[in-house]
Amino acid sequence: MEPADFYTGIVAESYAPLRSLDPDPEVHAAFIREVGGPALELGCGDGDPLLDLRRRGLDVEGVDSSADMLARCRRRADDAGVTVTLHHQRMEALDLPRRFRAIFLAGPTFNLLPDDDAAGAALEGIRRHLVDGGSALIPLHIPAPTPADRIGATRTATAADGARLRFTLVSEERNEAERTQISLLRYERHDRHEHHAQDASAVVERPWLLHWYTRDGFRALVAAAGLTTVSVTDSDGNPARDDADSTVFRLRADHHTPRPPTR
Ligand SMILES: C[S@@+](CC[C@H](N)C(=O)[O-])C[C@H]1O[C@@H](n2cnc3c(N)ncnc32)[C@H](O)[C@@H]1O
């Protein structure tokens, strides 16, 4: 399975019920109001904050690599009576008919790209899809190793239809040289009436890869893609401390600026 296909099947179904943190739509609404639309959310998943932004009347479209997450997003949009344009694509192979003033990710989904080459391709795609002077917001995270006593720990939640969902971090492997952490995650769904139904339970185990960047390393990838780093902030918008493990890169596309020579 490719990393971009991680969020499918019961993983897609478990995403909203198990989510620990809701993205704050106001941050992204303010960004779009400041730089103008149209806007594009990469890795929009099942629609947070995309659908809230659409409800506010903002011109924003979504891209995601998971058909299952997009199907959930479409259903939620229909239920809420909002229209939304969604594209089933990988952000490292972005090819859309429109150009945008604002492109953003609402969480550190860029860390799901498996290596620097994929990140470089995604940054190139962002540049190609921004109008001249357009802006991008990319949150990045450097994961900490999970404490040993949390390996094997299970979280539970209830699905929309009442089924029990279980999520377990089975193991974790870290490679500092490659800047990757691969966790083996187990997702389980147990129907409340499993003795009555067939196929009532499902269990999948999937490797979840995170790839992180040094601050200077990401600046170099941004420059190589022909984009300018405007600022690196913390999640409150203040300049990021050198040791911050969560940052937001704000980028700009200046199409008339000569690109650095390729190595
Ligand atoms: C952590 S979820 C965030 C979803 C949404 N923003 C939210 O908070 O509800 C990450 C999403 O990124 C998508 N994704 C992962 N890799 C991707 C890629 N290479 N290109 C596009 N989308 C990707 C996944 O399918 C998933 O829906």
What residue ranges do the domains of the chain occupy?
Answer: 3-142+213-253, 148-211
Which of 18, 66, 129, 137 to probe ligand 1 with, by most ligand atoms within 8 A of CB? 66
What CATH number is given for 3-142+213-253 in this structure? 3.40.50.150
Note if the pTM is more than 0.75. yes
Among candidate residues 7, 17, 12, the one with its CA nearest the CA of residue 163: 17
Tell me the three state secondary structure of residue 194: coil
Atom of ligand 1 nearest to the CA of 66: 25
Alpha helices in the chain (DSSP H): 10-18, 25-35, 50-55, 67-80, 116-129, 215-224
Q: What is the pLDDT of residue 131?
A: 98
Q: What is the pLDDT of residue 194?
A: 54
Q: What is the pLDDT of residue 198?
A: 53
Low-confidence ranges of the chain (pLDDT < 70): 193-200, 260-263
Atom of ligand 1 nearest to the CA of 48: 9
Q: What is the pLDDT of residue 230?
A: 97
Tell me if 134 CB under 6 Å of ligand 1: no
Q: What is the pLDDT of residue 259?
A: 72
C-alpha 44 – ligand 1 centre gap (Å): 6
